[in-house]
A and B are shown apart, each in its own frame.
Chain A
Amino acid sequence: MITSLKIENFRAIKDLKLDDLGRVNLLLGKNNTSKTSILEAVFLLCAAGTPEIIHRVHLWRDLTLTTEDDLKFIFHNLNYNNKIKIEAENSKNNLYTILQISPNTKGTTSNASIEGNTTISDSTSGNQNVKSLDVKFSWKERHSKLQSSSANITHTGNNNFHFTNHTKKIPSIHAVMVASRINYAPNLEKRLEKLIISKQIDEIISILKTVDERIIDISVLSGRMVFVDLGIENLVPLNLVGDGMRRLFNILLAIYDAEDGIVIIDEIENGFHHSVLKKIWIAVLETSKRFNVQLFIATHNLETLKCLNSVLQLENNNMSSHQKDVRSYTIRMINEGLTSYKYDFDSFSTAIEENIEIR
């Protein structure tokens, strides 16, 4: 479990620290306070062993990785001089990890313009024509020395990128991201097949009844498409069922898939009717605890937070046992920089009940 996180120069984040992370972490804040960027940073750090993950992170923003210019979108102010650094402390083995991403300036040319007889280079502004990024991952476990491994992403022309593997096997945390849009999750069929084989699909179906009690079965046909049995004449492709069911299915699949790892959920409320929010929270809290999954959840929806607060005080199902796991971080822009304000359950609950704005 990640216990602290420090992010430098990633997307809109110049410098941000989140301390004392819990098993369930809520990220709250107004628009443009980098909540999604924090989620992306967690994902990048966890998946640092596969540098092509930058491509995936771009896709969540509808950005593509096709030209060399696209590489700079992950850098603060789109400036290569702002080298990315994401640090985390992990409770398992006291693991300390650092991910650093910087431009590989070997063989690069600076954008230059000629005014009169003087050549003006803007390399100091970090706008070099960078074709390659160096990805350095360093880690240290309890009683061991700091180790490092490097990888590389290089634009090879014709909209192609070459991803080199890390020079060493690096410790990674299995992380799954559930993006804010309700779409077909990556590798959905394979993940579902795994659940069917391990006989866990019935549990998922019983939870999915929260949003549609008609659901009888869910299956993969010909290994290519997911169908849902709603008790009508034909099976229905998953894409044709309601947003709430698809959203909950994606979240559950992510949690089941990420045992002992991390699930990252952007705008958790998307697709859900308010009447099912409490049941959704119960399902998310219970399943994530059962599979020892750490959650990072972004939202700015008050109703969602009120439901979580009331669920955490339910006496049945022992829901109050989750209180100690919950942290809420309000991200605010202070003096042109981002600052996080941490609330434990007691403070979170007081703020919600007193109508104090923490979103």
Chain B
Amino acid sequence: MIRAYVEGNDKMLIQALFIVRLGLDSSEFIIEELGGGLSSLLKLPQKLKENIDSGEKVVVILDSDNPPHAGFIQVRDSLNSFKVDNNLEFDYFLLPNHNDDGNLENLLELIINDSHEALFSCFDEYVNCLTQNNTGHFHLPVKKTKIYAYVDTLTPINQKKALKNGNYQFENSHYWNLQSPQLNGLVELLKRQLEE
């Protein structure tokens, strides 16, 4: 059994990767959503210890986020200290690519279905327009809105309800390319949980 602790927004993508890229059945993994991300995880060493003691493979997937709030190096260092201080053994991956600052949205921008790239170009023009006309009341960038707009635009009216519930339809190849090499690092880490 794999138990993945993930940043709240990341759950749907990780679930899709377990199913599509690893060929797992939903009974073979559990995804725990942490709305508080890293700060919540750091308060739960005993839960991770319990999971590991029970024979589960624990994997953590969080956003690196952007400075000054965090960033790849800060989150990596926090997790390494957390592992050492609590004598916990688990793998982790920091989105978007386990190297740069950023988050889920940065990764999602890279794994859209290529045939819909125009949608992003249009959105970028919209953001440029906002930037040029910013009176100081616009809070930019709007990355979450960009991804939402992408999915919303592709979703037929009779299927909008799922989108409102946060379902970005990651398993739908019309929307996303889950075979993208951009996901290879994350997928390799998930696969390693099956091998060890």
B40–A354 contact, CB under 8 A? yes
Measured between alpha carbons, how far is A347 from B45 in the docked complex, in Å? 9
Q: A343 contacts the other chain (Cβ, under 8 Å)? A: yes
B43–A341 contact, CB under 8 A? no
Query: Which residue of B33, B35, B46, B50 has the most chain A CB atoms within 10 A of its CB atom?
Result: B46
Query: Given A332-B54, A347-B44, does the pair A354, B36 have CB atoms closer than 8 Å?
Result: yes
Interface size class of A (residues with CB under 8 A): 10 to 19
Q: How many A-B residue pairs have CB under 8 A?
A: 42
Please name the residue on chain A nearest to B35 by beta carbon.
A354
Q: A298 contacts the other chain (Cβ, under 8 Å)? A: no
- Chain A neighbourhood of B53, CB < 8 A: 332, 334-335, 339
- Chain B neighbourhood of A355, CB < 8 A: 33
Measured between alpha carbons, how far is A332 from B54 in the docked complex, in Å? 9
B34–A354 contact, CB under 8 A? yes
B54–A334 contact, CB under 8 A? yes
Measured between alpha carbons, how far is A334 from B45 in the docked complex, in Å? 17
Query: Which residue of B40, B43, B49, B54 has the most chain A CB atoms within 10 A of its CB atom?
Result: B43
Please name the residue on chain A nearest to B49 by beta carbon.
A341
B46–A343 contact, CB under 8 A? yes
A356–B44 contact, CB under 8 A? yes
Report B36-72 CB contacts with A as 1/0, cut-off 8 Å. Answer: 1000100111110110011000000000000000000
Main secondary structure of the interface of A (DSSP, over half): mixed
Q: State how many angstroms separate the Cβ of A67 from the closest Cβ of chain B.
A: 40
Contact of B43 (CB < 8 Å), options: A335, A342, A346: A346
Report A315-353 CB contacts with B as 1/0, cut-off 8 Å. Answer: 000000000000000101011000101110011001101
- Chain A neighbourhood of B47, CB < 8 A: 341, 351, 356, 358
Contact of A350 (CB < 8 Å), options: B33, B44, B49, B50: B44
Contact of A341 (CB < 8 Å), options: B32, B33, B35, B50: B50
Measured between alpha carbons, how far is A330 from B47 in the docked complex, in Å? 9
List chain B positions with a Cβ less than 8 A from chain A: 32-36, 40, 43-47, 49-50, 53-54
List chain A positions with a Cβ less than 8 A from chain B: 330, 332, 334-335, 339, 341-343, 346-347, 350-351, 353-356, 358
- The 10 tightest CB contacts between A and B, nearest first, are A341-B46, A350-B43, A334-B53, A347-B43, A341-B50, A350-B40, A354-B40, A346-B43, A354-B34, A356-B47
Given contacts A335-B53, A347-B46, 15 further A-B contacts (CB under 8 A): A332-B50, A332-B53, A334-B50, A339-B53, A341-B50, A342-B46, A347-B44, A347-B45, A350-B43, A353-B35, A354-B32, A354-B33, A354-B34, A355-B33, A356-B32
